[in-house]
Copies of this chain bind each other. A is one copy, B any other.
Amino acid sequence: MIPATAKQWRVQERPINRSFRETDLRLVEEPLKPVGANEVMLRACYFAFDPAQKGWMENAANYVAPINVGDVMRSRGIGRVVQSNSSKLKVGDLVRGDLFMADYFTLPMDGPTPANVEKVDTTVPLLTNLSILSNTGIAAYFGLMDVGRPTAGDTVVISGAAGATGSLAGQIAKINGCRVIGIAGGAAKCAWIAELGFDHAIDYTTGDIAKRLRDVCPNGINVFFDNVGGGILDIALAQIAPRARVVLCGGISRYSSTVTTGPLNYFNLIYNHGRMEGFLTRDYLPQWPEAKRRLSTWIKEGRIKSREDVQEGFENLPRTFMRLFEGKNIGKQILRVSDPELA
């Protein structure tokens, strides 16, 4: 039963030069647009959150279409097709991809800007479609493999190691034969990454990170996979090994504060011939199928695991997004808004 109105989270204010606030998104209810030619209507089942979405709201990220104040905010997620005027999808199909933050919404399947959605992979647990087999997994895969270029025996250090991307990058580094050290906040997160097979977990909320890092990396850091930025990046730069690779995957510390300084120790890249390199997952678009194939194989072989932090209820969307910046999530931050079996 499709309702007459849709609930939508629209951008109320851009979080520029400050932290995200729950009031930056505003809940509105509007008549549901009828399904046009070559369009489908979806009911949202799950939304998956990424710190980069704050950048989308700021319009700071040149790699996504602009989002204006007043627009319905976008999010990756899983939805079920409830009406279809497209030959590409039929009613009942469960799809993953770029959705709108609304309980019901229509998507164009054709024309100049067709929606970026595809049927979910049903050979793996459903929510891995939003973690390992999503942008998150793709970021971990190419960030580590192509930018980090680990070789067996390397010491790989990962910040934000209990996050969706970090936890996966660490497991892929283990498959590559590396020693892996994760930095995460709190005992629960550290216990989880130990369970995933990380060689060491450093809890950044207690004691001297630099000293503990030196203790477990006596020969320096070969690959530093950074999801955090700020002070952690500086500490790692001070301990890089010759020819180290610093992978810039993200910077959660930048998202939750006003940034006033860059990495002071970047000069250590000179003394060690270090390389610091950023990337976006879209840079690897032609290689995504191969990456997904490998990731999917590793899931089925039990060599990589994901964990999802699933919150409930469409009304809790801004609060759930906020958890990322509060460091509350272990694994992928997800919001369940309807039952995928019943949608």
Contacts and interface: CB of A to CB of B under 8 A. Distances in A.
Contacts of A273: 277-280, 283
Contacts of A280: 270-271, 273
B269 A276 contact: yes
A328 interface: no
A278 B269 contact: yes
Nearest to A243: B283
Contacts of A272: 278
A254 interface: yes
Interface stretch (A41-49, A176-184, A209-217, A260-268): A260-268
Contacts of A251: 267, 270
Contacts of A229: 267
Contact of A261 (B63, B262, B270, B283): B262
Contacts of A254: 267
A280 B272 CA distance: 8
A250 B269 CA distance: 11
A2 interface: no
Contacts of A249: 270
A123 to B, nearest CB: 32
Interface string A278-309: 11100100000000000000000000000000
A283 B279 CA distance: 26
A139 to B, nearest CB: 11
A266 B274 CA distance: 15
A166 to B, nearest CB: 15
Interface of A: 61-63, 229, 234, 248-251, 254, 259-280, 283
Given A262-B262, A262-B263, A274-B277, 17 more contacts: A61-B271, A62-B271, A63-B271, A248-B266, A261-B264, A266-B266, A270-B279, A270-B280, A271-B278, A271-B280, A273-B277, A273-B280, A273-B283, A274-B278, A275-B276, A276-B276, A276-B277
30 contacts: A62-B271, A63-B271, A229-B267, A248-B267, A248-B269, A249-B270, A250-B270, A259-B264, A260-B264, A261-B262, A261-B264, A262-B262, A262-B265, A266-B266, A266-B276, A267-B278, A268-B278, A269-B278, A270-B279, A270-B280, A271-B280, A272-B278, A273-B277, A273-B278, A273-B279, A273-B283, A275-B275, A275-B277, A276-B276, A277-B277
